[in-house]
Structure 1
């Protein structure tokens, strides 16, 4: 149980860090492209919104006793949203910088936009995987605890009782 809690906290911290990285890199691009129409920037706005929601939820669900295991449907939803953002960003890149996962020849001099985009795409993918693992862990935890409650005869009493008159 303690290992699951620690693993969940590590996943939440990774989700928070990855979302912050994507929000920062993507926000830098959105700031530079201020004159463009919102229709052209739709995929980047979507990725920024998903990153913002992920940051908020990761912080909320990082707080102990906030039911982070029972929030697995939310984790699954955010994971799907991240996979969609990943796909939109990969589609936008369209092979202009080579293969998406080809990391050869990348420099960190701050001027390479391909490096920035590949990093944004990579962290979006990592965030999607972390949210998916959180959902799987939460689903497993909930199923295991429901099975223990049923096997251990820990049934709740009904609130409404029939009169025996």
Structure 2
């Protein structure tokens, strides 16, 4: 159940970032403003995240085998967050954690919203990777364990 919550959170955050950054890309195309490379990278990560979170939202036990990919996507989201944060110093929007004016729809407010949702998305993907690692290795160890009447060798040939 917790995995479904994480996947849904990943989807929502990626969709929000995808929409905001798509608007930035439109502004760049129309007015030639903004860091196009950072925006394209963030948009690609958002699109990949939307697709994978929807596919992996289906509740199967095998979805926990994807934890290495969850970790990679989490690292990609942290890199997108860093790319967005690095650009905020050039925008004259105040500090990174200066959250005033987010609700007025300004360029700075939208940029900081993209930053915030990219960080939250990275945290969701990281939590999903940790949960997947735990469940996968916990279930694998339980499957190897047997009852006390028989012994099972992990390596080598059977003596039967």
TM range (shorter): 0.7 to 0.9
* Aligned with residue 102 of structure 1, among 98, 102, 105: 98
State the TM-score, normalized to the length of structure 1.
Answer: 0.83
* 1:1-165 matches, cutoff 5 A: 6-34=1-29, 36=32, 40-65=35-60, 67-94=62-89, 96-103=92-99, 105-110=100-105, 112-152=106-146
**Cα distance in 2 for residues equivalent to 1:41 and 1:16:** 23
Aligned pair count reads 151
Secondary structure of residue in 1 paired with 2:141: helix
- Structure 2 residue runs of 5 or longer lacking an equivalent are none
The alpha carbon displacement at 1:64 in A equals 2.2
State the TM-score, normalized to the length of structure 2.
Answer: 0.85
RMSD value, Cα: 2.6
Moved over 3 A (4+): none
Secondary structure of residue in 2 paired with 1:84: helix
**Cα distance in 2 for residues equivalent to 1:25 and 1:115:** 11
- Structure 1 residue runs of 5 or longer lacking an equivalent are 1-5
